[in-house]
Amino acid sequence: MNRLTDEEKVHIEYPISDEPTRKETADTDHSFPTSSTSAHNTHGHTNTSEDETFGASDGWAKMSSYLREYDEMRVRDTKEDIDTLLTFAGLFSAVLTAFVLVSYTSFQPDNSTLSVQLLYQISMQLGAMSSNETQQLLLPDLPVYDPPASAFRINGIWFASLTCSLVTASLGMLVKQWLRQYMAGEMISPKERCRVRHFRNQGIVRWRVFEVAAFLPMLLQIALILFFIGMLDFLRLADETMCWILSGIVAVYLLFFVTTMVSPLFSAQSPFKTPLFRSLPAVSRRLMGKIARSLYRHLLHVPHHEAPIEEAELRKRNDWDVEMIVAADATFMDPQFFDNIQLCMRDFDGARRVTCIHQLIEHRVGATLPSLHTAEFAFWRLSWTERRAAVSTLIDAIHTPLVAAIEGRRR
């Protein structure tokens, strides 16, 4: 392939006020290769296809590595929390079982009282025999034991607490298995790994796996509160003084617990944030809107569901590549991440590159843009790195078909 003539070269300039120009940064920053650098090799021949393929492979590998590190960090934190819960649930269940064994004896009659009644009957029989009485001795029947209502109440509360503790441990093991399956990967290409990761991540988000993991500490707290209630009821029957002392301690704990739970509603700087209630203020403000939309969707509109997609089929499809890149960018929100995005989009044709840039700009600026023609007002809200990467990617999008058109005209 011959070198392009001077008349056939295309120069694309874009003004950016108060920022360094493309020419000024060409010698110092090589993060974003432009169309001119990717179009020619050192001998002056065009090698766009090979360069773009190599650059795209490198970009997918970096993106896969970044997403893998992010997922490992998120899964590792969740697993550590679950391990702590499993340890506490085991110790708590052992302690609670000891209390249940003691309390369960209240369903049985008092052995000392029964022994006294039996001895009384034996003494009456012996007295009748010593006086040579021939009249049949009528012995009173032993009373039927009726457990007190407090026994049912205390044991019911403690069994409910034990059930919550065991359910927490069971769900914790299930969540660890789900996360292990989420991180499981085969030796496939980086692009296929990104596709599979995006497919699985959508399922993780849709089925609220991390929300289930965040609910486990709350379930264990419920078990602990039930245990305290049963313990105070048990002590009330045994020793009221001790019951009042422990009631004060439990009341202080419950007050502290409730205060830390609701403090994020009143202060954005509150450090007492838990994963389960991290977005509680936003949820409380949008609750009615979600309910209305949910009712409309389920009662007035029945959406059409496509056939389910399997992972093996997904690896070879590029339907979700644009959505996958936008979701990956939303995960990090780092201007430097555009380096890898630009390399990954070299696998796309011009139209898909423009679509991807359009959606990325929409997400970055937080506004809906009907088209890139209306993005001018929002384009300057991006950082210098984001602007340069977006424009450079658009240049790459038009460079390949432009070179093909010029070569076709030369023939």
User: Residues of the chain with pLDDT > 90: what percent?
Assistant: 26
**Are 343 and 352 contacting, i.e. CB atoms less than 8 angstroms apart?**
no
**Are 260 and 272 contacting, i.e. CB atoms less than 8 angstroms apart?**
yes
Is the confidence at residue 151, as pLDDT, over 80?
Answer: yes
Q: What is the pLDDT of residues 86-103, one digit of tens each?
A: 999 999 999 999 999 988
Is the confidence at residue 6, as pLDDT, over 50?
Answer: no
Comparing 78 with 384, which gets the higher pLDDT?
Answer: 78
pLDDT at residue 105, rounded to an integer: 80
Q: How many whole angstroms separate alpha carbon 220 and alpha carbon 216?
A: 6
Q: What is the pLDDT of residues 111-147, one digit of tens each?
A: 666 666 667 667 766 766 666 655 555 555 666 667 7
Q: What is the mean pLDDT of the chain?
A: 72
> At residue 40, what are phi and psi to the nearest 5 degrees?
-130, 145
- The SS3 call for residue 356 is helix
User: Which range has the top average pLDDT, 64-73, 125-134, 357-366?
Assistant: 64-73
Q: How many whole angstroms separate alpha carbon 88 and alpha carbon 165?
A: 9
Q: What is the pLDDT of residues 11-31, one digit of tens each?
A: 333 333 344 443 334 333 433
Is the confidence at residue 150, as pLDDT, over 90?
Answer: no
Q: Which of 111, 109, 106, 112 is nearest to 149 (CA)?
A: 106
pLDDT at residue 400, rounded to an integer: 62
pTM recorded for the entire structure: 0.60
Q: What is the pLDDT of residues 153-206, one digit of tens each?
A: 999 999 999 999 999 999 999 999 999 999 987 767 888 888 888 889 999 989
Is the confidence at residue 84, as pLDDT, over 80?
Answer: yes
Tokens of 247: 């009631």
Q: What is the pLDDT of residues 242-270, one digit of tens each?
A: 999 999 999 999 999 999 888 877 776 77
Q: What is the pLDDT of residues 362-402, one digit of tens each?
A: 766 666 666 555 445 455 566 666 666 666 666 666 656 65
pLDDT at residue 192, rounded to an integer: 85
**Are 185 and 51 contacting, i.e. CB atoms less than 8 angstroms apart?**
no
Quickly count: other Cβ atoms within 10 Å of residue 64's Cβ: 24
Q: Which of 34, 40, 35 is nearest to 2 (CA)?
A: 40
pLDDT band at 5 (very low <50, low <70, confident <90, very high): very low
pLDDT at residue 360, rounded to an integer: 75
Q: Which of 364, 366, 371 is nearest to 385 (CA)?
A: 364
